[in-house]
Amino acid sequence: MRFDVFTLLPAVFPPYLESSILQRARQRGLIDVYLHNIRDWTHDRHHVTDDEPYAGGGGMVMKAEPIFEAVESVLGAPPACLLILLTPQGRVFDQRAAQELARHERLGLICGRYEGVDERIREHLVSDEISIGDYVLTGGELPALILIDALTRLIPGVLGDPDGAADDSHATGLLEYPHYTRPPEFRGWRVPDILLSGDHAKIAKWRREQSLLRTLERRPDLLAAASLLNADLKFLEEHGFKR
Ligand code: ADE
């Protein structure tokens, strides 16, 4: 999968892209991330990328011309792939959106800064707008990295375990069950006996129930959309869940 990132701060990306799983995915050719500095598409002496808003109001606005030029010279006109603007006004990113976007071969990502971008970029250039949550950051760079990270780990072969992403919190519509590793006892706190029992059917049932309980306690809002079996519903109802 190829990502083309349009940003005023390309330098913030490499430290993360060159670490751990993303680094390995890049080295193995499973992802490619191309960073494009929007400032390279300005033509004035001071390489200005922002300007005051028409009719006043606070802050500065990112100009349309350098962003259009950058995108069109890299992705063509119209852009040859889905082009996403990272903005707190976009649809909220979640695991389902990650799964859907991970099916694309190539994505363009525009990172906004300042108060926002000239509205003509939304209206006539991008195909999608994504927010990573209901809070406002100083720019779209961290959101772009979050999106790249969430999509990359869904690409087959990226995680060591082929089923690595299948049980993740949210992948099933539920929060994931608790994990433990050695030692079996730490400061008097024991790992649940069932996990040491070697009984795979019982362990699977325990994990499913823990997953259901956790979701019921912490994120009951998720249960409405989760795919639940009759046995799941029965278990949840025994623990106070009402349909
Ligand atoms: N830019 C600033 N805040 C943002 C957010 N929450 N999501 C995506 N892009 C942003």
| pLDDT tens digits, one per residue of 24-48 | 999 999 999 999 999 999 999 999 9
Percent share of the chain, pLDDT over 70:
100
- Say how far apart CA 194 and CA 30 lie, in whole Å: 37
Q: Ligand 1: which residue has its CA nearest to atom 6? A: 88
17: confidence class by pLDDT, cuts 50, 70, 90? very high
Candidates 126, 136, 147: which one to mutate for ligand 1, based on the most atoms within 8 Å of Cβ?
136
- Pairing relation of β-strands 106-111 and 61-62? unpaired
Residues 6+ apart with CB under 8 A from 235: 209, 212
- Say how far apart CA 226 and CA 243 lie, in whole Å: 13
Tell me if residue 168 is catalytic.
yes
Q: Which of 91, 105, 36 is nearest to 67 (CA)?
A: 36
65: confidence class by pLDDT, cuts 50, 70, 90? very high
Q: How far is the CA of 134 from the centre of ligand 1 (A)?
A: 8
Catalytic pick from 69, 129, 168, 209?
A: 168
- Say how far apart CA 125 and CA 128 lie, in whole Å: 9
- Asked if pLDDT for residue 50 goes beyond 90, the answer is yes
Asked if 61 contacts 114 with a C-beta cutoff of 8 angstroms, the reply is yes
Tell me if residue 153 is catalytic.
yes
- Say how far apart CA 24 and CA 130 lie, in whole Å: 26
In order of their start, the domains of the chain are 2-152 (3.40.1280.10), 169-238 (1.10.1270.20)
136 lines ligand 1 (CB under 6 A): yes
Q: What is the DSSP string of the chain?
A: -EEEEEES-GGGSHHHHTSHHHHHHHHTTS-EEEEEEGGGG--STT---EEPPTT--SS-EE-HHHHHHHHHHHHTTTTSSEEEEEEEEEEEP-HHHHHHHTT-SEEEEEE-BTTEE-HHHHHHT-SEEEESSSS--SBSHHHHHHHHHHHHTTSTTSSSSTTTTTSSTTTTSSPPPP---S-SEETTEEPPHHHHS--HHHHHHHHHHHHHHHHHHH-GGGTTTS---HHHHHHHHHTT---
Q: Which of 84, 5, 7, 72 is nearest to 39 (CA)?
A: 7
Q: How far is the CA of 132 from the centre of ligand 1 (A)?
A: 6
170: confidence class by pLDDT, cuts 50, 70, 90? confident
Residue 168: per-residue pLDDT:
87
Tell me if residue 161 is catalytic.
no
Asked if 223 contacts 215 with a C-beta cutoff of 8 angstroms, the reply is yes
